[in-house]
Chains A and B, each alone.
Chain A
Amino acid sequence: MSLDNLHVDALVVGGGIAGMQSALDLGDQGFQVALVECEPSIGGKMITLSKVFPTLDCCSCITTPKMSAVAHHPNIKLFTYCDVQSVQEADGGYRVNLVQKPRYVDASKCTGCRECEYACPITVPSPFDRGLGAYRTIRVPFSTAVPQVAVLDMDYCILCGKCEKVCAAKAVDFNQQPEPFEIQASTLVVASGFELTPLGAKKEYGGGKLRNVIDPLMMERFLAPTGPYGRVLRPGDGKEPTSIAYVQCAGSRDTTLGIEYCSRVCCMYAIKQAMLISGALPLAEITIYYMDIRTFGKGYEQFYQNAQAMGVEFIRGKVASIREDDDQNPVVKVELTEEGRTIERTHDLVVLSLGMVPVPGSNTALNLPLGSDKFIAIPAPNASPCATAHPGIFVTGAAMGPMDIVDSIVTASSAAAAASAYIREHKKEAVYA
Chain B
Amino acid sequence: MSDQKNGTPSRGEVLKRLREAHGTTVERSQAMMKEQKQMQNAICQFIRETPKTVPEIAAEIGRPTHEVLWFVAALRKYGIVVEAGMCGDYPLYQRAKEVQV
| B33 CB to nearest A CB, Å | 5
Q: Which residue in B14, B22, B36, B90 is a CB contact (below 8 Å) of A239? A: B90
Taken residue by residue from 144 to 158, chain A's Cβ proximity to chain B (1 for < 8 Å, 0 otherwise) reads as 000000000011111
* Closest residue of A by beta carbon distance from B79: A118
A211 at the interface (CB under 8 A from B): yes
**A47-55, A75-83, A227-235, A352-360 - the one binding chain B:** A227-235
Do residues B26 and A159 form an inter-chain contact, with CB atoms below 8 A? yes
Considering the chains assembled together, what is the distance between the CA atoms of A135 and B91 in angstroms? 22
Given contacts A159-B26, A231-B91, A242-B89, contact A154 B69 (CB under 8 A): no
Q: Does B74 contact A (CB under 8 A)?
A: yes
- Find residues 214-236 in chain A having any chain B CB closer than 8 Å to their own CB: 228-231, 233, 235-236
Interfacial residues of chain A within 285-331, with CB under 8 A of chain B in the complex: 328
Compute the total of residue contacts between A and B using a CB distance below 8 Å.
Answer: 95
A228 touches B73 (CB 8 A): yes
Q: B90 and A175: CB pair below 8 A? A: no
Assess whether B69 is in contact with A237, with CB atoms less than 8 Å apart.
Answer: yes
* Per-residue contact bits, chain A 97-127, to B (CB 8 Å; 1 contact, 0 not): 0000000000000000000001001110100
User: In the complex, what residues of A have CB within 8 A of residue B19's CB?
Assistant: 159
Q: Quick check: is B42 within 8 A (CB to CB) of the other chain? A: no
* Nearest CB of A to B52, in Å: 11
> B residues within 8 A CB of A135?
77
Collect the chain B residues with CB atoms within 8 Å of residue A229's CB.
69, 73, 76, 91
In the assembled complex, how far is the CB of residue B55 from the closest CB belonging to chain A, in whole angstroms? 6
* Contact between chains at B36 and A237 (CB < 8 Å): no
With contacts A123-B74, A228-B73 taken as known, whether A238 is within 8 angstroms of B30 at the C-beta atoms is no
Q: Quick check: is B45 within 8 A (CB to CB) of the other chain?
A: no
Q: Contact at A157–B22, with CB atoms within 8 Å?
A: yes
Chain A hits for B8, CB < 8 A = 175
Decide yes or no whether B66 CB sits under 8 A from chain A. yes
| B91 & A233 in contact (Cβ 8 Å cutoff) | yes
How extensive is the interface on chain A, given as a class? 20 to 34
B25 adjacent to chain A (CB < 8 Å): yes
Q: Are B83 and A238 in contact (CB under 8 A)?
A: no
Does A204 count as interface, using CB distance less than 8 angstroms? no
Asked if B73 contacts A237 (CB within 8 A), the reply is no
Q: Which of B25-77 contact A (CB under 8 A)?
A: 25-26, 29-30, 32-33, 36-37, 53-55, 58, 65-66, 68-74, 76-77
Q: Which residues of A contact B90 (CB under 8 A)?
A: 237-240
Which residues of B have CB within 8 Å of A242? 89
Q: Residue on A with the closest CB to B65?
A: A237
Residue A181, interface by CB 8 Å: no
Given A158-B33, A174-B14, A238 and B54 touching (CB < 8 A)? yes
Complex CA gap A211/B55 in Å reads 14
For A174, the chain B residues whose CB sits under 8 A away are: 11, 14-15, 18
Give the CA-CA distance A159 to B77 in the complex, in Å: 23
CA distance A135 to B70 in the complex (A): 11
Are the CB atoms of B22 and A118 closer together than 8 Å? no
Q: List 30 A-B contacts (CB under 8 A).
A: A118-B78, A121-B33, A122-B29, A122-B33, A123-B36, A133-B74, A133-B77, A154-B22, A155-B22, A156-B32, A157-B22, A157-B29, A158-B26, A158-B33, A174-B15, A211-B66, A228-B77, A229-B73, A229-B76, A233-B69, A237-B55, A237-B58, A237-B69, A237-B90, A238-B72, A238-B90, A238-B91, A240-B89, A240-B91, A242-B89
Residues of B participating in the A interface, judged by any CB pair closer than 8 Å? 8-9, 11, 14-15, 18-19, 22, 25-26, 29-30, 32-33, 36-37, 53-55, 58, 65-66, 68-74, 76-78, 83, 86, 89-91
- 15 new A-B contacts, CB < 8 A, other than A132-B73, A242-B89, are A122-B29, A125-B70, A133-B73, A134-B70, A155-B29, A156-B29, A157-B25, A157-B26, A158-B33, A228-B77, A233-B69, A235-B66, A237-B69, A238-B68, A328-B65
